[in-house]
């Protein structure tokens, strides 16, 4: 273990485009489902639905948060609908799984998705037993990253000391609140859509374009 990570005893991972490569592009499938949902909700054409979806994502952190704010939708119905996708694009990465297994201490998921969907992703990746818990959008009271409240709630409810925690995330802006409370931050800059939005080096301790070799190097030093 590299010396500057020796104090870490809680390893917190985002899910999508962090524990698997962004090129798998599950969001392309989710995007289609979100477009269908918005078309049905608003009675609009696909172009308007897509514009609405992307605007809500950028302004509210998730499309769901925007839909709740502007249209008062029931979140579980939306999440169940948009996450009803095939996982065939995902593959097991044995080297990544081995590296995660070797991390000393607790391992947690912090996602803007829901636990049911996260469980399906983890199962397909061969990581279903690798993590102690999933801190999801329901646990955050539907207030998504990067709002600081979800980070504080994760630490409070699950007794995580942020000064002894590392957070891995593909969306740079989601690292700002983690750094603000003392976490070590790692940006997995692997090509996620809007992944560099609001990026600033002040709140990013490490940057990698691929999680697997980063963890292998970290563990090997």
CATH assignment of the domain containing 37: 1.10.150.450
Percent of the chain surpassing pLDDT 90: 90
116 and 189 inside one domain: yes
- Are residue 122 and residue 54 in the same domain, yes or no? no
- Specify whether 94 is located in the same domain as 123: yes
145 and 199 in a single domain? The answer is yes
Task: Give me the domain span that covers residue 57.
Answer: 26-82
Q: Given a cut of 80, is residue 75 above it in pLDDT?
A: yes
C-alpha to C-alpha distance for 197 and 164, rounded to whole angstroms: 27
Strand, coil or helix: what is 167?
strand
The pair of three-digit structure tokens given for residue 184, joined into one six-digit string: 């070590």
Give the angle subtended at the CA of 130 by the CAs of 124 and 132, to the nearest 5°. Answer: 125
Number of domains in the chain: 2
At 95 the pLDDT is 96
What pLDDT score was predicted for residue 221? 55
Average pLDDT over residues 134-142: 96
195: its two tokens: 């992944």
Q: What is the CATH number of the domain that holds 120?
A: 3.40.50.1000
pLDDT band at 26 (very low <50, low <70, confident <90, very high): very high
Domain check: are 106 and 182 in the same one? yes
Beta strands, E only, 136-220: 165-169, 184-188, 206-208
Does position 109 have pLDDT exceeding 60, yes or no? yes
Give the Cβ contact number of residue 95 at 10 Å.
12
């Amino acid at each position: 273990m590299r010396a500057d990570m020796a104090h870490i005893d809680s390893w917190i991972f985002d899910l999508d485009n962090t524990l698997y490569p962004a090129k798998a592009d599950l969001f392309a499938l989710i995007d289609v489902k979100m477009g269908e949902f918005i078309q049905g909700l608003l009675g609009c054409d696909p172009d308007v639905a897509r514009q609405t979806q992307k605007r809500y994502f950028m302004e509210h952190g998730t499309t769901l948060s925007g839909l709740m704010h502007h249209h008062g939708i029931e979140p579980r119905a939306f999440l169940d609908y948009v996450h009803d996708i095939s996982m065939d694009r995902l593959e097991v990465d044995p080297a990544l799984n081995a590296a995660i297994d070797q991390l000393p201490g607790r391992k947690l998921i912090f996602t803007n998705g829901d636990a049911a969907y996260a469980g399906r992703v983890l199962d397909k990746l061969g990581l279903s037993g690798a993590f102690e818990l999933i801190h999801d959008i329901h646990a955050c009271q539907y207030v998504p990253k990067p709002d600081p409240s979800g980070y504080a709630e994760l630490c409070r409810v699950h007794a995580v000391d942020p000064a002894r925690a590392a957070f891995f995330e593909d969306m740079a802006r989601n690292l700002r609140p983690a750094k603000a409370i003392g976490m070590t931050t790692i940006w997995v800059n692997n090509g996620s859509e809007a992944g560099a939005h609001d990026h600033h080096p002040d709140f990013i301790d490490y940057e990698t374009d691929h999680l697997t070799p980063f963890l292998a190097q970290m563990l090997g030093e």
